[in-house]
Amino acid sequence: MGVSTLNIIKIGGNVIDNEQDLNDFLEKFSALSGKKILVHGGGKIATRLAADLGIEANLIDGRRVTDAEMLKIVTMVYAGLTNKSIVSKLQNLNCDALGLSGADGDTIRTMKRPVKDIDYGFVGDIMHDSINTASIKKVLEAGFVPVFSAITHNGIGQLLNTNADTIASALAVALADLYETSLIYCFEKNGVLRDVKDENSVFERINAKDFEQLKKEGVIHTGMIPKLQNAFDAIRKGVKHVYVGNANNLHLFQQSHFGTCLVAK
């Protein structure tokens, strides 16, 4: 009997912020066959709610500083409103989703980020043994579709805000021992672009050597570099493929024509 395939799909905040885009994406996600996991970010709802409550959002280099009050907000929004809204929409599409934080079923334990130059507050960093593969396997084998928010825990009662891209990558690496795993990052671009002004200039395939060369040439730069570094790290650790592409095109994934495919060689 062959190894089952598993697709782990991360959806970004820009799609979550637009209800029609989110509905379109979830239709495509629900139609994907086989085992799958959805990981979602938070979007801008947490920032807006914090402002309404007089709590100032503090971002440093795009990373949210999560003090005690902001942790309450992101937990309510990410693990509550956003997660359960997505789950209810998937149920309407006959996709039997189960909304989870990392605390549920002890699925994802993280460590509070150590204070160095900056105190990020209640932010969780993934460790080598963060993912409880046994718990997640039970959920998958029972026929449920896990939907993970970006809230984890430290195992001693503290919730932590954790980067959703990193959660998706860690899930893919850990579960690659059990399933033939692909990791798919969905956002608003059609893939990794040769020319950022031309949505059709998509690289269909990039290997690790290409990546280093494209960085030197300045074709891949700024925010795309850490995303792709995480992707190639996942490939080195056993993930079969990593894809980067437009959420609107997810229906093309199982036809082998979706965004940019990242491979080892």
Question: What is the tens place of the pLDDT at every residue in 159-210?
Answer: 999 999 999 999 999 999 999 999 999 988 899 999 988 999 999 999 999 9
63 labelled ligand-binding: no
Number of domains in the chain: 1
Degrees to nearest 5, angle at CA 252 with 249 and 256: 135
Q: How confident is residue 229, by pLDDT bands cut at 50, 70 and 90?
A: confident
Tokens 């994907």 correspond to what residue?
32
Alpha helix positions (H), the chain:
13-16, 19-31, 45-52, 68-74, 83-92, 133-141, 164-175, 208-216, 224-236
The rounded distance, in Å, linking the Cα atoms of 213 and 208 is 9
Nearest Cα to Cα of residue 142 among 97, 111, 88 = 97
Percent of the chain beyond pLDDT 90?
A: 80
Beta strand 97-100 with 145-148 is parallel
- HSE-CB for 84 with a 13 A CA cutoff: 6
Average pLDDT over residues 130-135: 98
**pLDDT of res. 38:** 98
Q: Any idea what the CATH number is for the domain that residue 224 is in?
A: 3.40.1160.10
Q: What domain range is 165 assigned to?
A: 3-261
pLDDT for the residue 1? 56
pLDDT at residue 2 greater than cutoff 80: no
For the residues 224-237, what does the mean pLDDT come to?
88
Which residues fall within 8 angstroms of residue 225, CB to CB, at 6 or more apart?
215
Per the annotation, does 43 bind a ligand? yes
> Between residues 238 and 223, which one has the greater pLDDT?
238
Q: Which two tokens stand for residue 69?
A: 């009050």
For all residues of the chain together, what is the average pLDDT?
93
- Name the β-bridge partners of 151: 161
Residue with the larger pLDDT of the pair 229 and 67:
67
